[in-house]
Amino acid sequence: MTQRLLAALAGEPVSPPPVWVMRQAGRYLPEYREVRSRHGFQEVVTTPALAAEVTMQPIRRFDMDGAVIFADIMTPLEAMGVEMTFDPGPKLEPWALRDVANLPELAPDRIAHVGETVRMVKEEVPEHTSVIGFAGAPVTLLAYLLEGGGAKDFMSLRAALRSDPGAAAEALSKLARAMNGYLSLQAEAGADVVQLFDTWAGLLDRHLYNELAVPPARESLEGLSVPTIYFAPGAGHTLDLQAGVGATGYGVDWRIPIEDAFNSLPGHAIQGNLDPAVLRTDPDTIRRDVKDLLTRVGGRPGHIVNLGHGIDRRTPPEHVSVLVEAVRS
């Protein structure tokens, strides 16, 4: 049976288009909250049976076209010896560029649980559902390492990239090699497609983005055996430069007219781009906005319906059902 997500990434006409949602396995689902009432976040991530169960929850409920593996973008960094806690985001001691460059190589046996999660999900998903692996892009991972956790503007990252671009490039290349290995492991375990999340690359100006974000993102995706998606929210000012990453498809956020994304990245699949706030409205508004999105896409091949960022934890699950039904009707 044809996987609609893979067909769209290959540029084939798919009607209606495939649909999945970033962070679709998570806190807005009561069945996820039930699992988390008994198990800590890191326990779920590192226990394949639990991670697979959480991954499958939105597939059972909504029959999404993609099952994105439940993990965290920091998971491979923990396997490289970076100590952190989650509360709920990552908390760690800030690192220096040289220390990041000197991190040990990623040992596959330390992330074997992710590969096992992929295998378990692959065995359970319907044939038409694509298994989606993912990783954090090097610039985004470096942002957390230098800052010691989340931040509004990641000033430490932006200062470091400007003050010592040579050391930054070395640190980013180390992270790129690790993410390439991490994505390769997921593909070998059965992932049908992988996505690279560059959550904070949009904070960079065009010059820094092109010089220091594009090369390690490209290195992260090079030579993989499956189609790839690159997603950098808040980076609409770099849209034309993103082609340098070499992904099969590109995700875009809700601030960019989706037709602009198709025009800026010709020959590539485009994923998006409903505002996650749409799912906090009402069924009529959701149906209207889905119809508007599909009208603006105009039947172009290579469209994957998704939100322009992760689903909000306060989203009523029934609104996700409305979204899926609206796309497929």
Q: Is 182 a catalytic residue?
A: no
Contact call for residues 182 and 110 (beta carbons, < 8 A) = no
Structure tokens at 38: 């008994």
With tokens 């040579």, the residue in question is 166
Catalytic residue among 65, 72, 253, 289: 72
Q: Which of 223, 270, 220 is nearest to 73 (CA)?
A: 220
Q: Is 28 a catalytic residue?
A: no
What is d(CA 223, CA 275) in angstroms, rounded to the nearest whole number?
Answer: 33
Catalytic residue among 4, 23, 32, 182: 23
Q: Is 312 a catalytic residue?
A: no
Structural Rg of the chain based on CA atoms: 19
Structure tokens at 300: 């172009």
Count other C-beta atoms under 10 Å from residue 252's C-beta: 26
Catalytic residue among 28, 32, 144, 182: 144
Contact call for residues 60 and 28 (beta carbons, < 8 A) = no
Count other C-beta atoms under 10 Å from residue 45's C-beta: 23
Q: Is 206 a catalytic residue?
A: no
Q: Computed from CA positions of residues 79, 147, 212, 217, in that sequence, does the dihedral angle turn out positive or negative?
A: positive
Q: Is 255 a catalytic residue?
A: no
Which are the catalytic amino acids? Answer: 23, 27, 36, 72, 144
